[in-house]
Amino acid sequence: MELQVGWHRWDVTPKEAVEIQRELRSRVVLHPPPGLRVERIAGADVSTEKGRDTGYGGIVVLDVASLTPVAQAGSAVPLRFPYVPGLLSFRELPVVAEAWARLEVRPDVLIFDGHGIAHPRRLGIACHGGLLLGVPSIGCAKSLLVGKHGRLGEARGSTAPIIHKDEVVGMAVRTRKSVQPVYVSPGHLMDLPTAVEWVLRASPKYREPETTRHAHRMVNALRRADGEAAELG
């Protein structure tokens, strides 16, 4: 798999990982590529199980017009980094990267089940992943990691800025009427308005985008199948 030039190693300590995040932050580009045309949009997710040292990753690519899958790829990779809040990408990105390497149809935009710049060091998994894979990326999370937001309307499409240390780092977005919002932030090669637009377009019926829903189902199926195979073996 081709990674971006000058990429870092993964066998690092949590302290080293924090320093890598601080260095990579300066490489994040918070605007889309000129003339970005989105025909395919994808979701990335990773499933793990307590007591097992394998991460099951998946990327599912959807046609933008129909939101139906056109390609997918999965992976099962040993987890080498501990679970540390704020350092999720060091645990999960090697798993996602393996699935990306197997993907035959590449998306124009990749949505991660996690945060972009709405992160203590402004480098969540969507930023880190976008840099690693060289793809416009969006973070869409189910809970806040940093910051607060004000009240937002009950209607679908209602939004409220997420503020952290006097900076707008994302948007609380109501994707379904009277349902808890999701928390959207740009990853790499992305800005906040465009990120919100694509999350809403990918979420016509449910709280989570179809990209995330498809990827989530895929990685859970991979994990269950591997567990059943291990039991039979």
Task: Determine how many CB atoms are found less than 10 A away from the CB of residue 122.
Answer: 22
Cβ-proximal residues to 126 (8 Å cutoff; 6+ apart), any chain: 111, 112, 114, 115, 116, 137, 138, 139, 185, 186, 187, 188
The strand pairing partners of 60, in sequence order, are: 43, 72
Length of the chain: 233
Give DSSP secondary structure letters for 185-203: EE-SS--HHHHHHHHHHT-
11 marked as part of a ligand binding site: no
191 marked as part of a ligand binding site: no
Q: How far is CA 180 from CA 44, 128, 157, 184, in A?
A: 21, 26, 12, 13
Which residue ranges make up the annotated binding site? 45, 113
Which residue ranges make up the annotated binding site for Mg(2+)? 45, 113
